[in-house]
Chains A and B, each alone.
Chain A
């Protein structure tokens, strides 16, 4: 079945780095743009970054620019988020998300992983 499984979360001190990974299965990974969305404890959803199906185009939410890097490996069906200079306010559940589009439509964020928790604390 279609599935996204995140890993790599944990507890890290402010200023340190962490790399999140997401493994996709059950669909043709190389055909889809992939996103990271986060959710701070008790808060709403915040989009973080997107990478195009071929890895060429990448876009970031303002607070992630210059600190986070999204990448993908289509041969291994994985997308990653390298996070550096982490701040307390980066504490959140990080979701890997598929966005389905066609030539004429965008179908929204239709597949979500279960999330991986990042805690930034001294």
Chain B
């Protein structure tokens, strides 16, 4: 399953709302879709699993939604520490990652 993330780069200001998209080449069961955040020089960090469940310690400004082939990660009000690269991942059929969306400060 190929995951295509859009946009490739998203330029926003702190306080704004970010909407990141992840589209699958074939249907993915929602319980097998996750989102990760990666900052420079760091390992990725799990944000969302099961398409919409936040993992422990993740602020509620992060939310995930979607089903089938279209999934979305929303950050309701950007904080300075949210600017990073975000990856979606599916583990429904083997394991694949999207190519990432870079969220940068405008």
Contact = CB atoms under 8 A, between A and B. Distances in A.
Contacts, number: 57
Nearest to A62: B94
B98 A44 contact: yes
The bracket for how many chain B residues form the interface is 20 to 34
Interface of A is mostly: strand
A95 B45 CA distance: 12
A108 B34 contact: yes
B71 interface: no
B39 to A, nearest CB: 12
Given A107-B46, A108-B89, 18 more contacts: A44-B98, A44-B99, A45-B97, A99-B91, A105-B50, A106-B32, A106-B49, A106-B50, A106-B91, A108-B46, A108-B49, A108-B91, A109-B46, A110-B49, A112-B44, A113-B43, A114-B43, A115-B43
Interface of B: 31-32, 34, 36, 38, 43-46, 48-50, 55, 87, 89, 91, 94-100
25 contacts: A44-B87, A44-B97, A45-B44, A45-B87, A45-B89, A45-B100, A47-B95, A47-B96, A47-B97, A50-B95, A59-B94, A61-B94, A95-B43, A105-B49, A106-B31, A106-B32, A106-B49, A107-B50, A108-B48, A108-B49, A108-B55, A109-B36, A109-B44, A109-B89, A110-B55
